[in-house]
Amino acid sequence: MTRKRFGHAAFQVVFWLVVAIILFYVLFPFYWAVKTSLTSPGDLARTALHWFPDRPVLSNYLEVFRVQPFGRNLVNSLMVALGTVLVSLLLSAPAAYALGKFRFRGKRPVMYVILAVSVFPQIAVLPGLYAVVKWLHLYNTWGALILSYLIFTLPFTVWTLTAFMREIPTELEEAAVIDGASPLVTLFRVLLPVMTPALVTTGLLAFINAWNEFLFALTFTSDNSARTVPVAIGMFTGASQHESPFALIMAASVVVTVPLIALVLVFQRKIVEGLTAGAVKG
Amino acid sequence: MLDLPEVIAAPAKRGRGRSFEGRRARTALWLLLPTLFAIALVGGYPLLRTIYLSFTDANLGSGDEPHWVGLENYWNVTEDGVNVGLLADPAWWRSVWNTVLLTITSVSVETLFGLGFALVINSKIKGRGLLRTAILVPWAIPTVVSAQMWNWMYQDSLGIVSAWGRQLGWLKVGQSLVANPDTALWALVAVDVWKTTPFMALLLLAGLQSIPTDLYEAARVDGATRLQQFRRITLPLLAPALLVAVIFRTLDALRIFDMPYVVKGNAPETMTMSIYARQQMIDNAQFGMGSSVSVLIFLVIMMFTIAYMTLSRVNLEQTQ
């Protein structure tokens, strides 16, 4: 009996060790970025390998907004991501209604086409999309990015909302239809209010994807009037050549990451649900 | 978009004319139309345009209309007997090899790690909520940011990873894993694994949680060890979720662009297919040639998709 209990205790210790290692592995790089962002560029060469900041300063955070047009990049990212979410949800809610609640021929092929688009490599449509963007005179605008981001947000939002739509009791929709409500009224007045949590989850994931996008943002913008944060961070250079720009880059990185981590912590249950809904229910 | 005619054809069965079903079908079409139009505009048309451009000499710099050149972008033997086509370009094949290598190692390692994470989180320990929250951190960090964070840790003199490498005697002063062409790709695999393991873990966790617990009870009653339970219950029942997660991640890894590009730019030792395509297209302004690369990438990814679909069908038939 005691031997068994000892084995159990040993198992517990090993287990907690594993947990500690996992925690260190996933959190350390972010901690390191925060630590570096609090070090003044002049001190960096001396204290880069210290585990804790010697003299924490906020100067890098001020510098990011003063020297770099980072505020502008943030506004661009925010507007592009919000615009993408809005357009995606507006387009995909009716589509999900059709795919989730209607019976018609050609439904399966439509579902397959939408699923196929979601595995399109972005680079495969880049040349053609470039032509569309030029043709619509959207080059170097928010519009170019909102339009091009639809290729990865739309399949995802349609697919996920359809999965959620199927779960709404059919009686609800039938009652509205019998009362003579038009399809759009049924959708916007009856179904969508019930689906608010699903809309939040789906919208949030689309927002994160749009916020993080790099390839299209790099290719369809040419200056800071529309350049988003990931491109700005990817192309970051220091104020002078002698200073390593990494303290600044880390400050900028922390600025864009903290809101995301906050969102994720607040909505973590919903996010996990949304991430797995497409895969498991679909 | 391809099946639009069929969708339109549905309500056109005049036999039932104004029946309820027919009206419903027509309504469904109207509800779908904006989405189908948007997908045609940002997906269908650009793809067709890319395929067309791949047979032309389109150039980003000149305003001239592109000329049809047939297969010259892909295969073009000049009078000197030199093939200047894409399929004979060693840089292209190197980028294919880099991408496939990165995909295979990255997806295998993160499947193992993800499975480990998922098993730990799924066990009934205190603090599992904390762990589940913590693993969302790498997932939430933008790819470009995670690339820069690791770039900093890999930095030759001030990077912490290089410092650890020196302490272990693996690296000499001034050496870094990303700067060395022999190790650069593996250094990038480590970044990709760190960033994407959480996604894998979450998908597998959802799979684990759908396994009924009474199966384990029954196994315990029958005297099965933990290892036997894992091999006979967990793995087979997790297989579908595992397959979906691996497919998702493989298709994602094959098109990777941002992380290697931010860390290494156009360096040949870490150039992926997408980076090669963009270099041809934008940096070299050879739009036609770049489009050909895009078409080839599309074909490679289609091949993987078909292979997986065949594989999963075989798998499904076996389990039934």
Closest CA to A60 of A44, A37, A43: A37
Among A227, A276, A280, the strongest candidate for a mutation testing the B interface, having the largest count of B CBs within 10 A, is A276
| Predicted pLDDT of residue B132 | 85
C-alpha A120/C-alpha B299 separation (Å) is 10
Examine residue A25 and state whether it is found in any structural domain, yes or no.
yes
Which structural domain range is residue A111 located in?
72-235
Domains of chain B: which residue ranges? 4-48, 90-319
What integer best gives the mean pLDDT of chain A?
86
| Predicted pLDDT of residue B201 | 92
Which residue type does B280 have?
A: Q
Cβ-based contacts of B202 with chain A (< 8 Å): 272, 275-276
**Whether A95 and B135 lie within 8 Å, measured CB to CB:** no
For A13, B156, B164, B175, B179, the CA distances from B172, given in Å and listed in that order, are: 36, 10, 11, 6, 12
| Predicted pLDDT of residue A240 | 46
Closest CA to B68 of B87, B54, B50: B54
Q: Which of B133, B202, B203 sits opposite A265 (nearest CB)?
A: B133
In a shared domain, residues A38 and A80 = no
| A212 in contact with chain B, both atoms CB, cutoff 8 A | yes
In a shared domain, residues A55 and A80 = no
Examine residue A249 and state whether it is found in any structural domain, yes or no.
no
Closest CA to B245 of B115, B117, B129: B115
Q: Which residue did the predictor score with more confidence, A89 or B302?
A: A89
Q: Are B128 and B121 in contact (CB under 8 A)?
A: yes
* Secondary structure (3-state) at B317: helix
In a shared domain, residues A56 and A79 = no
Q: Which residue did the predictor score with more confidence, B182 or A241?
A: B182
**Whether A19 and B120 lie within 8 Å, measured CB to CB:** yes
Chain B's closest residue to A93, CA to CA, is: B31
Examine residue A245 and state whether it is found in any structural domain, yes or no.
no
In a shared domain, residues A47 and A111 = no
Closest CA to B202 of B127, B110, B124, B309: B110
Question: What's the average model confidence in pLDDT over A240-263?
Answer: 81
Q: Considering the entire predicted model, what is its pTM?
A: 0.87
| Predicted pLDDT of residue B12 | 45
**Percentage above 90 pLDDT, chain A:** 37
For A152, B60, B192, B201, B271, the CA distances from B252, given in Å and listed in that order, are: 12, 28, 11, 16, 16
| Predicted pLDDT of residue B8 | 45
Cβ-based contacts of B9 with chain A (< 8 Å): 105-106
- In SS3 terms, B220-283 reads as HHCCCCHHHHHHHHHHHHHHHHHHHHHHHHHHHHHCCCHHHHHHHCCCHHHCCHHHHHHHHHHH
pLDDT at residue B36 greater than cutoff 90: yes
Helix or strand (DSSP H, E) at A213: none
Q: Which residues contact B131 (CB under 8 A, 6 or more apart)?
A: A19, A22, A23, B117, B120, B121
Q: Are A120 and B42 in contact (CB under 8 A)?
A: no
Closest-CA distance, A260 to chain B, in angstroms, reads: 6
Size of interface A-B (CB pairs under 8 A): 297
Q: Which of residues 59-88 of A touch B (CB under 8 A)?
A: none
In a shared domain, residues A97 and A226 = yes
In a shared domain, residues A98 and A41 = no
pLDDT at residue B49 greater than cutoff 90: yes
Chain A's closest residue to B25, CA to CA, is: A104
**Whether A120 and B298 lie within 8 Å, measured CB to CB:** yes
pLDDT range class, residue B317, cuts 50, 70, 90: low
Examine residue A262 and state whether it is found in any structural domain, yes or no.
no
* Secondary structure (3-state) at B83: strand
| Predicted pLDDT of residue A74 | 93
Examine residue A253 and state whether it is found in any structural domain, yes or no.
no
| Per-residue pLDDT reduced to its tens digit, A28-39 | 999 999 999 998
Q: Judge if ipTM > 0.95.
A: no
C-alpha B137/C-alpha A25 separation (Å) is 11
| A17 in contact with chain B, both atoms CB, cutoff 8 A | no
Q: Which of B50, B155, B251 sits opposite A124 (nearest CB)?
A: B50
Q: Which of A193, A208, A235 is the last residue of a domain?
A: A235
| A226 in contact with chain B, both atoms CB, cutoff 8 A | no
Q: Which of A91, A94, A122 sits opposite B255 (nearest CB)?
A: A122
Question: What's the average model confidence in pLDDT over B117-142?
Answer: 85
pLDDT range class, residue A3, cuts 50, 70, 90: low
Closest CA to A216 of A126, A140, A131: A126
Q: Which of A218, A235, A252 is the last residue of a domain?
A: A235
Cβ-based contacts of A216 with chain B (< 8 Å): none
C-alpha A193/C-alpha A196 separation (Å) is 5
Cβ-based contacts of A48 with chain B (< 8 Å): 158-160
Examine residue A255 and state whether it is found in any structural domain, yes or no.
no
What's the structural domain count of chain A? 2
In a shared domain, residues A20 and A149 = no
pLDDT at residue A194 greater than cutoff 50: yes
pLDDT at residue B198 greater than cutoff 50: yes
Q: Which residue did the predictor score with more confidence, B259 or A54?
A: B259
C-alpha B264/C-alpha B283 separation (Å) is 15
Tokens describing residue B196: 């994407």
| Per-residue pLDDT reduced to its tens digit, A160-190 | 899 888 888 888 888 888 888 888 888 888 8
| Per-residue pLDDT reduced to its tens digit, B233-242 | 888 888 888 8
Q: Which residues contact B22 (CB under 8 A, 6 or more apart)?
A: B11, B13, B16
pLDDT at residue A239 greater than cutoff 50: no
In a shared domain, residues A81 and A9 = no
In a shared domain, residues A47 and A168 = no
Question: What's the average model confidence in pLDDT over B148-158?
Answer: 90
In a shared domain, residues A84 and A154 = yes
Q: Which residues contact B307 (CB under 8 A, 6 or more apart)?
A: none
Q: Which residue did the predictor score with more confidence, B294 or B314?
A: B294
Give residue B81's region: left, alpha or beta (phi > 0; psi -120 to 50). Answer: left
Question: What's the average model confidence in pLDDT over A249-268?
Answer: 88
In a shared domain, residues A118 and A188 = yes
pLDDT at residue A244 greater than cutoff 70: no
Examine residue A268 and state whether it is found in any structural domain, yes or no.
no
Examine residue A247 and state whether it is found in any structural domain, yes or no.
no
Cβ-based contacts of B20 with chain A (< 8 Å): none
Chain B's closest residue to A255, CA to CA, is: B145
* Domain containing residue A134: CATH number: 1.10.3720.10
| Predicted pLDDT of residue B60 | 81
| Per-residue pLDDT reduced to its tens digit, B81-129 | 888 888 888 999 999 999 999 999 999 999 999 999 999 888 877 777 7
In a shared domain, residues A109 and A53 = no
**CATH class given for the domain over B90-319:** mainly alpha
Q: Which of B127, B137, B291 sits opposite A19 (nearest CB)?
A: B127
| Per-residue pLDDT reduced to its tens digit, A110-151 | 988 888 888 788 898 998 999 899 999 999 999 999 999 999
**Whether A121 and B295 lie within 8 Å, measured CB to CB:** no
Q: Which of A14, A31, A61 is the last residue of a domain?
A: A61
Tell me the β-bridge partners of B83: B77
Q: Which of residues 128-147 of A touch B (CB under 8 A)?
A: 128-129, 131-132, 147
| Predicted pLDDT of residue B2 | 43
